[in-house]
Amino acid sequence: MSEQPLNHAPAAAPEEAAEATVTGSATGSTAADAPTATGSTAADLTADEAAALRAASFERARRLRQEPRFPGGPAADPAGSHHERRIRSFQPRRSRVTTGQQEALERLWPKWGLDIDGKRVLDLGELFDGLPVVLEIGFGMGEATAQMAAEDPGTGILAVDVHTPGQGNLLGLADRAGSTNVRVANGDAVILLREMLAPESLDGLRVYFPDPWPKARHHKRRLIQPEFLDLVAPVLKPGAIVHCATDWEPYAEQMLEVLTAHPRFENTAADGGYAPRPAFRPLTRFEGQGLDKGHVVHDLLFARV
């Protein structure tokens, strides 16, 4: 799943500079050499005073990390999830936000964006003007999502990711296509499923090309696990389709095994295996590149029972 935050870090703020005086710097100076706000050095402070200074610096840095990168745009850490100790299925990465993506975020986020803060249950009927709603987890740069939204305006797509450039790109693509059936959610999909969706409120779930975490020691980070399906099943309507796709053969095998074993899901493929790619799932540029390299893409379609 391609979940990644933002662009180049700005110059250090005063609060960040304060933290640097406590923790030392690359110049070889130490915390003991650094002057404090009172003009003394850390060596002059008592242990309690030094601990209090460090705590204040870390708190200021924490508040900075939580500030939105764009005024009125997606929050840096909407649910404070860095305090929640659990294995995560995504690896945040930083990349540059283009001028067009930034413009789309600033203009369209207040209208079509929402932060996954875990503080409320979403009214999907109100959010999507009564349309049936499909949740998509991990949309990358949003090209496939925008195409599916444009080709099926009667279905609402709640698209979740933490990649700020991708969020801006999807908003811009949907706007240019005249699509009004896309909402972009920023944050951890597990918190969304666990705390912000009403029972039987979704008409489907799409997970296309999530991070395969190929190393054996990282398999526990894969999204499609029994515990994840336990969260998904209650928020899906009976008959709703879970549609997964991957070009990583071992992950496809795990997906098939986990979905087949779960009592709340039933394979729609008559032979109990993989399904043909549905016409509504676009063939993306990255998928095409994988196919050119000999990768085999597997689709799985399971109905919630």
List, for residues 55-73, the tens digit of each pLDDT value.
877 766 555 444 445 666 7
Tokens of 258: 């986990």
Query: Could you tell me which residues come within 8 angstroms of residue 148 by beta carbon, excluding any fewer than 6 positions away?
Result: 157, 280, 281, 282
Type of residue numbered 66: Q
pTM of the model: 0.74
Cβ–Cβ contacts within 10 Å for residue 188, how many?
23
Q: What is the mean pLDDT of the chain?
A: 83
Instruction: Give the closest residue to 83 by CA, choosing from 121, 48, 118, 120.
Output: 118
Residue among 115, 161, 203, 211 flagged as catalytic: 211
C-beta separation of 90 from 162 below 8 A:
yes
Provide the residue count of the chain. Answer: 305
Task: Give mean pLDDT, residues 163-175.
Answer: 96
C-beta separation of 163 from 4 below 8 A:
yes
End-to-end Cα, the chain, rounded Å: 26
Place of tokens 């295996």: 273
Q: At CA 16, angle to CA 15 and CA 18, rounded to 5?
A: 65
The model's confidence at residue 183, banded by pLDDT at 50, 70 and 90, is very high
C-beta separation of 89 from 221 below 8 A:
yes
User: How confident is the model at residue 32, as a pLDDT?
Assistant: 44
Q: At CA 251, angle to CA 269 and CA 156, rounded to 5?
A: 60
Task: Give mean pLDDT, residues 156-170.
Answer: 96
For this structure, is 152 an active site residue? no
List, for residues 247-264, the tens digit of each pLDDT value.
999 999 999 999 999 999
List, for residues 105-160, the tens digit of each pLDDT value.
999 999 999 999 999 999 999 999 999 999 999 999 999 999 999 999 999 999 99
Tokens of 115: 């932060």
Show the DSSP H helices in 178-209 as ranges: 189-191
